[in-house]
Amino acid sequence: MTELITISTISTISNNQLKLVTLNGWLYNKRGSGKILFLQIRDGTGFIQAIVNQNDVSSAEFELAKHLSQESSISITGTINKDSRAPFCGHEIWVSQIEIISHSQDYPIAKKSHGDAFLMSNRHLWMRSIKQHSILKIRASLIRAIRDYFDSHGFLLIDSPIFTPNACEGTSTLFETEWFNGQKVYLSQSGQLYQEAACAAFGKTYCFGPVFRAEKSKTRRHLNEFWMVEPEAAFMDLEGTIQLAEDFLCYTVERILNIHEKDLTNILERDLTIVKNTRKPFPRILYTDACDKIAKLGLEIKTGDDFGSPHETELTKQYDKPLIVTHFPSKIKAFYMKKDEFNPDFAKCMDLLSPEGYGEIIGGGQRENNEQTLMIEMQNHGLNLKDFEWFLDLRRYGSVPHSGFGMGLERCLAWICGLHHVRETIPFARTLDRMNP
């Protein structure tokens, strides 16, 4: 009787110990010579070592395996053997049949190291390599953890639009396009304003989607298209939103560590000591005290200046946990920020800075809920009140204190994974000098 052959994936290979299975995938790498070849196979769900022994296959198949080129697609059949020493997944497959699906010629990404620009130009292929594969899997888990947190904490998902008639985060970073009637329309910089409407209708809401900033910044922390999650809650003050940010970050980081600790340490070689320290409460510091501290560390800063990357980096080096900086000068913050009652030069806002120099990952605070004060602030920011009538309505019909924040997915992921540049945390990065592939 012939044995029934299971078609398996690498991720479920442990269910098939000592069984004959077929795997469909691609050749990742190859070594060995003489009578035995070691093929590294990837199938999208994982990586496994396949062993081709000359005695176990036909001579044509052995020749095929011997000349197989990187990234050729193949179908292999063999017996699964559990071996803790086996690379990748603790299992290996002893091949009895091998078939080529499609030949790959001169795959551009060789095993030698390539420059960043070359790899980014080949992003459509680079995402097959084991580190990039890991990062994008962790990204998917982080997205799931974020959604799970808000879905299970009473926040309703209310999607904000992407085409918007007005600015949220300053007029200088708007991507502009044209609506049907020739009217100017912009790509959203943040879904916040719409969440303010939504939280007055549903209490606690969040949106999670791509946002766009025409920032001409060429730093390792800036993308022109990135993903932001933005919770907003009615009857919540600055303190409430700080506690929400702390609880949320602890939950999501713990979820990622539970699922991906091995990927992080073995594949991305991330030292997780500080990431594991994400336990609330986080240290807090007032903006003015942070300025003093930064000045003492030898960097130039005047009260009233915004922090630059070097300031954030030096400041956070002093802590082994995320740091919360509150009460920035109102002047350098967005029009919607509520001013502190006791010291109106400062806003009831907070930035959560990651440890280890990855910069601001969360920004938020309490919103101005008085119509008159808000209108004055909008005028000071050069905004056209006509575009914001709907937003002002929220202050006219049962205005309540409310607060929220935004977390940049890529900044958070870059920190968790320990990546130098955010461009590796998004499948296809859009930056000042790149919008392809």
Residue whose CB is less far from ligand 4AD, 46 or 322: 322
User: Of 376, 328, 369, which is closest to residue 349 (Cα–Cα)?
Assistant: 328
Lay out the site mask for ligand 4AD across 324-363 (x = CB under 6 A, - = otherwise). ------------------------------------xxxx
405 binds, among ligand 4AD, Mg ion, none (CB under 5 to 8 A by kind): ligand 4AD
Helix H, strand E, coil C: the string for 315-383 is HHCCCCCCEEEECCEHHHCCCCECECCCCCCEECEEEEECHHHCCEEEEEEEECCCHHHHHHHHHHCCC
Q: Name the DSSP class of 266.
A: I
- Of 347, 410, 424, 429, which lies in the binding site for ligand 4AD, with binding defined by CB under 6 A? 410
* 351 burial type by CB count under 10 A (0-12 exposed, 13-18 middle, 19+ buried): buried
**192 binds ligand 4AD, rule: CB under 6 A:** yes
CA–CA separation, 10 vs 15, rounded Å?
10
CA–CA separation, 284 vs 281, rounded Å?
9
61 binds, among Mg ion, ligand 4AD, none (CB under 5 to 8 A by kind): none
Spatial contact of 186 and 165, defined as CB atoms under 8 Å apart: yes
In the complex, the smallest distance separating the C-beta of residue 246 from ligand 4AD, rounded to whole angstroms, is: 15
Lay out the site mask for Mg ion across 336-365 (x = CB under 5 A, - = otherwise). ---------------------------x--
Residue whose CB is less far from Mg ion, 126 or 208: 208
Residue whose CB is less far from ligand 4AD, 62 or 405: 405
CA–CA separation, 413 vs 245, rounded Å?
16
**431 binds ligand 4AD, rule: CB under 6 A:** no
Q: How many residues bind Mg ion (CB under 5 A)?
A: 1
Query: Which of these ranges, 69-77, 159-167, 224-232, 313-321, lies near ligand 4AD under the rule CB under 6 A?
Result: 224-232
Place of tokens 């946002």: 211
Residue whose CB is less far from ligand 4AD, 26 or 328: 328
In the complex, the smallest distance separating the C-beta of residue 354 from Mg ion, rounded to whole angstroms, is: 13
Cα dihedral sign for 128, 252, 412, 402?
Answer: positive
**247 binds ligand 4AD, rule: CB under 6 A:** no
Measure CA 181 to chain center. Answer: 36
Q: How far is CA 306 from CA 10, 340, 379, in A?
A: 49, 18, 22
**315 binds ligand 4AD, rule: CB under 6 A:** no
**169 binds ligand 4AD, rule: CB under 6 A:** yes
Question: Which helix H or strand E contains 320, and what residues bound it?
Answer: none
**What does R_g of the chain's alpha carbons equal in angstroms?**
26
**364 binds ligand 4AD, rule: CB under 6 A:** yes
What's the half-sphere exposure (Cβ side, CA atoms, 13 Å) at 235? 5
Q: Quick check: helix, strand or coil at residue 219?
A: coil
**411 binds ligand 4AD, rule: CB under 6 A:** yes
Q: Angle formed by the axes of helices 130-151 and 238-262, to 10°?
A: 140
322 binds, among ligand 4AD, Mg ion, none (CB under 5 to 8 A by kind): none
Query: Which of these ranges, 89-97, 113-121, 124-132, 218-226, lies near ligand 4AD under the rule CB under 6 A?
Result: 218-226
**414 binds ligand 4AD, rule: CB under 6 A:** no
- Of 230, 246, 377, 424, which lies in the binding site for ligand 4AD, with binding defined by CB under 6 A? 230
Q: Is-cis flag, bond preceding 283, omega within 30?
A: no
Residue whose CB is less far from Mg ion, 169 or 377: 169
294 binds, among ligand 4AD, Mg ion, none (CB under 5 to 8 A by kind): none
Place of tokens 């509520």: 338
In the complex, the smallest distance separating the C-beta of residue 418 from ligand 4AD, rounded to whole angstroms, is: 17
Place of tokens 């060429």: 218
Amino acid at 17: Q
CA–CA separation, 437 vs 430, rounded Å?
9
Binding residues vs Mg ion (CB under 5 A)? 363
Binding residues vs ligand 4AD (CB under 6 A)? 168-169, 190, 192, 213, 215, 222-223, 226, 228, 230, 360-364, 404-408, 410-411, 422
